[in-house]
């Protein structure tokens, strides 16, 4: 009998974190969801297979013990917008949070970490990418088995989008454009990314992996890529889902300033 995998997901209360948690549930996993302090009221009616904790990924003390018993972790928290005057640099938002979660995995015996990183594109700040690359390098230094997802921007199906990004998405899915770099940077639906991340997380992997958009798409069936499916954390599927803009200043997860 197969053993149910338990996965820690950071970024609870955001579209990205919640979507990945929902996709993991759909694959039969148990989920431990870390939510930002002050977001507890959003968790009413949550699926019974989810355990949640309020924790600050920038405070190692608040993370202690949260990954106990987990077989993998998925780190989604970071930010595409920096505010250096408040101390929220790209490094603090994207590297420090990843470092703390990686150290949590090491201390708790979690053997595998999936890092949501970013792909380099003209519309993505280079300092954001540099901080994500530093986080990737840290995982290699500490010897933690990892899967790095260099994801493009994402959007919710049906949300209003600019013509530029809509055209990029269309071209990025069809040959020969999908075989070029355009296939890596073209925005993708959030449900396609979430299912891809969930399935990659639950695979039996003995080697480190670097995954781009094409690898995420291949983890979805043709029907899933084309039509998608509802991803919901609640038992009754009544929670509203916020849209994700494709503007470069959209946060990838929560930022420390949002809960203070």
Convert the pLDDT of each residue in 222-242 to its tens digit.
999 988 765 655 544 333 333
Give the number of other CB atoms < 10 A from CB of residue 253.
Answer: 25
Spatial distance between the Cα atoms of 29 and 92, rounded to a whole number of angstroms: 31
Of 146, 141, 154, 151, the residue nearest 73 (C-alpha): 146
> How do the domains of the chain map onto residue ranges?
6-154+190-259
Residues of the chain with pLDDT under 50: 1, 235-260
Show the tokens assigned to 256.
Answer: 């420390």
Could you tell me how far CA 109 lies from the centroid of its own chain?
A: 21
For a pLDDT cut of 90, what percent of the chain falls above it?
63
Cβ atoms of 148 and 239 within 8 Å: the answer is no
Convert the pLDDT of each residue in 157-189 to its tens digit.
988 899 999 999 989 888 898 889 999 999 999
- pLDDT at 121 (0 to 100): 94
The single-letter DSSP state of residue 4 is P
DSSP assignments along 6-64, one per residue: EEEEEEETSHHHHHHHHHHHHTT-EEEEEE-TT-GGGGTTB-TTEEEEE--TT-HHHHT
CATH class of 6-154+190-259: alpha beta
- pLDDT at 239 (0 to 100): 33
Cβ atoms of 9 and 114 within 8 Å: the answer is no
DSSP helix/strand/coil, 193: helix
In degrees, rounded to 5, the angle at the alpha carbon of residue 233 between the alpha carbons of residues 230 and 235 is 95
């Amino acid at each position: 009998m197969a053993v149910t995998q338990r996965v820690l997901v950071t970024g609870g209360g955001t579209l990205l974190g919640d979507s990945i948690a929902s996709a993991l549930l759909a694959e039969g996993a148990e989920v431990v969801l870390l939510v930002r302090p002050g977001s507890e009221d959003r968790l009413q009616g949550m699926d019974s297979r989810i355990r949640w904790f309020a924790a600050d990924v920038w405070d190692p003390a608040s993370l202690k013990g949260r990954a106990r018993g987990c077989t993998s972790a998925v780190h989604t928290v970071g930010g595409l917008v920096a505010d250096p005057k408040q101390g929220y640099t790209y490094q603090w938002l994207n590297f420090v949070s990843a470092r703390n979660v990686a150290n949590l995995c090491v201390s708790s015996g979690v053997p595998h970490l999936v890092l949501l990183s970013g792909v380099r594109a003209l519309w993505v700040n280079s300092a954001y990418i540099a901080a994500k690359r530093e986080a990737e390098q840290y995982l290699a230094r500490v010897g933690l088995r990892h899967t790095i997802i260099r994801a493009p921007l994402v959007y919710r199906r049906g949300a209003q989008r600019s013509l530029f990004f809509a055209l990029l998405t269309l071209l990025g899915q069809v040959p020969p454009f999908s075989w070029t770099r355009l296939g890596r940077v073209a925005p993708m639906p959030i449900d396609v990314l979430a299912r891809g991340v969930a399935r990659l997380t639950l695979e039996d992997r003995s080697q480190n992996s670097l995954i781009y958009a094409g690898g995420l798409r291949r983890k979805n069936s043709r029907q899933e890529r084309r039509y998608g499916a509802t991803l919901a954390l609640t038992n009754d599927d009544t929670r509203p889902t916020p849209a994700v803009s494709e503007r470069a200043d959209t946060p990838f997860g929560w930022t420390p300033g949002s809960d203070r």
